[in-house]
Amino acid sequence: MFGHINKHSGYFCCSLLSLPPPLPTSSFVNAPKNLAQYLLLSSSSSSSSCLPIMSQGVPRFQQRSCVHSSAPANATPSESSYDTANPGYIRKYLRSYGLTPPRVESYETQKTRCLRQLALKPTSIDKFLYLSTLRRNNVHLFYRLVVDHLKELTPLIYTPVVGEACQRWSEIYQQPEGMYISYEDRGNIAAVIQNWPQPHVDITVITDGSRILGLGDLGINGMGIPIGKLALYTACAGVRPDATLPLTLDLGTSNKALREDPLYMGSRRDKVTPEQELEFMDELMIALTEKWPGIVVQFEDFKNPFPALERYRHRFTCFNDDIQGTGAVILAGVMNAVKQSGIPTREHKAVFLGAGSAGVGVAKQIVDFFVREGMTEDDAKACFYLVDTKGLVTADRGDKLAPHKVYFARTDNQGQQLKTLSEVVNHVKPTMLMGLSTLGGVFTPEILRSMASFSKRPIIFPLSNPSANSECDFEAAITHTDGQALFASGSPFQPFSFKNSAGQTKTYYPGQGNNMYVFPGIGLGTILSKAVEVTDSMIYASAEALSKTLTPEELEHGLLYPDLTRIREVSVVVARGVIHAAQEAKVDRETGIRALSDADMDAWIRSKMYAPHSEVASLEREVGILLSSIGRPSYGSNGWEMGSDEDPNDKGAKL
Which positions make up the binding site for (S)-malate?
211, 465, 514
Is 158 annotated in the active site? yes
Type of residue at 363: A
47 C-beta neighbours (distance < 10 Å), count: 13
Contacts 24+ apart (CB under 8 A), 67-75: 67/1, 67/3, 67/13, 67/14, 67/15, 68/15, 69/1, 69/15, 69/43, 69/44, 69/45, 70/1, 71/1, 71/15, 71/43, 72/1, 73/1, 73/2, 75/1, 75/2, 75/3, 75/4
What is the Cα gyration radius of the chain?
Answer: 27
- Provide CB contacts within 8 A for 43, sequence distance 6+: 1, 15, 69, 71
Q: Which helix (H) or strand (E) holds 180?
A: strand 179-182
Active-site option among 127, 229, 271, 364: 229
Of residues 636, 622, 524, the one with CA closest to residue 571: 524
Contact 207, 300 (CB under 8 A): yes
Annotated binding-site ranges for a divalent metal cation: 300-301, 322
Contact 32, 141 (CB under 8 A): yes
Active-site option among 143, 158, 508, 635: 158
Contacts 24+ apart (CB under 8 A), 56-60: 56/199, 56/200, 56/243, 57/29, 57/30, 57/200, 57/240, 57/242, 57/243, 58/25, 58/26, 58/27, 58/28, 58/29, 59/26, 59/28, 59/34, 60/25
**What is the number of residues in the chain?**
655
What is the side-by-side order of every strand in the sheet holding 244-250? Answer: 179-182, 244-250, 203-207, 296-299, 318-320
Region of 115 on the Ramachandran plot (φ > 0 left; ψ -120 to 50 alpha; else beta)? alpha
> What is the DSSP track for 450-467?
HHHHH-SS-EEEE--SSG
Is 508 annotated in the active site? no
Annotated binding-site ranges: 211, 300-301, 322, 465, 514
Query: Mind telling me the catalytic residues?
Result: 158, 229
